[in-house]
Structure 1
């Protein structure tokens, strides 16, 4: 977990402890507050010490139980402030894929240039609908979200309209593993690779591939997107990170440029894609 995120969580915990101490009816012990809330005492302790992230419902209950309901908007604002940077998949997908996709689409719509690095999957802006269905389905199975998959697929495909707008440019960088990972059946991956070859000539797409045989200066891991040098969106197993501070944006841009030194473009990229395509036919 990032230091900034943890510091914000500790600060929220300190504010919760302050509310418990300043309860209008008299200071409450942690055990007394837990009894009012119907929680185990350990939850009160974890929230106050920044070892657990509160939900909006937790914060509202805390404000009410300490007889200070008017403070809830402040608490909710604190939570929104640091969760806007690290979005737990569990929380983000509580209402299905649609809100999650809509928030990213809104950011992409106001972006002119995107730099993408993916180490093991074709980027969403270049995915076929069938490939997207398998990728989203795999994540849905892992996270226990079984509904709304078709809505997510349609949203991802519609997002690709961005590629056909004037003044837009996506700089895509992939490791060769992304061309070969069988996250979908071979026939679906074959169609996806055909799609990649089709976008190689587009004015709005710059596509580079790092072959397995290339020498690399850093480990080719941790996929991310950089939007207009103002926002980084990166994914981990537990959460999606939105980073908008200048230092982190600059760091991810440097990572992209460093990886790009090992990439091939044009005819050489076409050859790497073709090799992956032929390997499917031989399988």
Structure 2
């Protein structure tokens, strides 16, 4: 993952290494610091090499163990600055859609359980090529910079092979708005909804729909993906957020489970999809 987030995490790791090597009592080896902290040596290595996101408690303990407690405010500020991932859409799309798709596809490839929430668009792993083309075109028009839409469509469709591999499961929730938003021509949305009904019986797809009439316990907003309780990928208008700390993973799973309580499955979900489909061809 080559992103602003990862670069910032690597920079924090380099700063932690500086503190270890500049310990007033004498430079510490990674093993000695791990012993002081009561951590496995691998944790020290992962933090210094930007392979793991530190918690505020980790940073405070590190500053104290390296005999430089005054460094904690600086470390905490660094963490706050990148904890919410800063991969700007405008900067990312300056290089086209391809790098964006490659980064997420690589993460999905090593994922076995994927939880998705979408409030206003069909989940990417379930999109038809034509529907995906219109969605990507809209983003390109809004943010500018990307002219490789056809390559992006092909990449998105190729990513869907994940659904057909043994041992993988997609748990996807969508608000009814996603079934009715005319981000594309009605004929394209109709074909997309037909695809959804065909996926309802797949053993690798658990599809839930929250109808407009359902009581909800939380505002149905902000689409996100949770990959194996390992990584959250969430989207906002200005950026894509990659979050891998325990607190955020727990929060997003709680949000997903709360939304799930309002969802319909099986024949009931099919009825909601069919109602949206019929509205496109009123008689």
TM over 0.5: yes
In 2, distance between residues paired with 1:226 and 1:83? 16
Q: Deviations over 1:153-193 (max 9, x none)?
A: 00000000000000000000000000000000000000000
Q: Secondary structure at the match of 2:183?
A: coil
Shift of 1:90: 1.5
Q: Which residue of 1 aligns with 2:253?
A: 253
Shift of 1:84: 9.1
Q: Which residue of 2 aligns with 1:167?
A: 167
For structure 1, the residue ranges without an aligned partner over 5 or more in a row are 16-77
Q: Which residue of 2 aligns with 1:192?
A: 192
Q: Deviations over 1:54-76 (max 9, x none)?
A: xxxxxxxxxxxxxxxxxxxxxxx
Q: Secondary structure at the match of 1:195?
A: helix
Q: Which residue of 2 aligns with 1:123?
A: 123
Q: Which residue of 1 aligns with 2:140?
A: 140
Shift of 1:282: 1.3
In 1, distance between residues paired with 2:83 and 2:206? 32
Poorly superposed stretches of 4+, deviation over 3 Å: 81-84
In 1, distance between residues paired with 2:148 and 2:129? 15
TM-score between the two structures when normalised by the length of structure 1: 0.71
Q: Which residue of 2 aligns with 1:88?
A: 88
Q: Which residue of 2 aligns with 1:271?
A: 271
Instruction: Say how many residue pairs are matched.
Output: 211
Q: CA-atom RMSD, angstroms?
A: 2.3
Q: Which residue of 2 aligns with 1:229?
A: 229
Q: Deviations over 1:69-127 (max 9, x none)?
A: xxxxxxxxx89x94993210112112111011000000000000000000000000000
In 1, distance between residues paired with 2:145 and 2:179? 26
TM-score between the two structures when normalised by the length of structure 2: 0.71
For structure 2, the residue ranges without an aligned partner over 5 or more in a row are 16-77
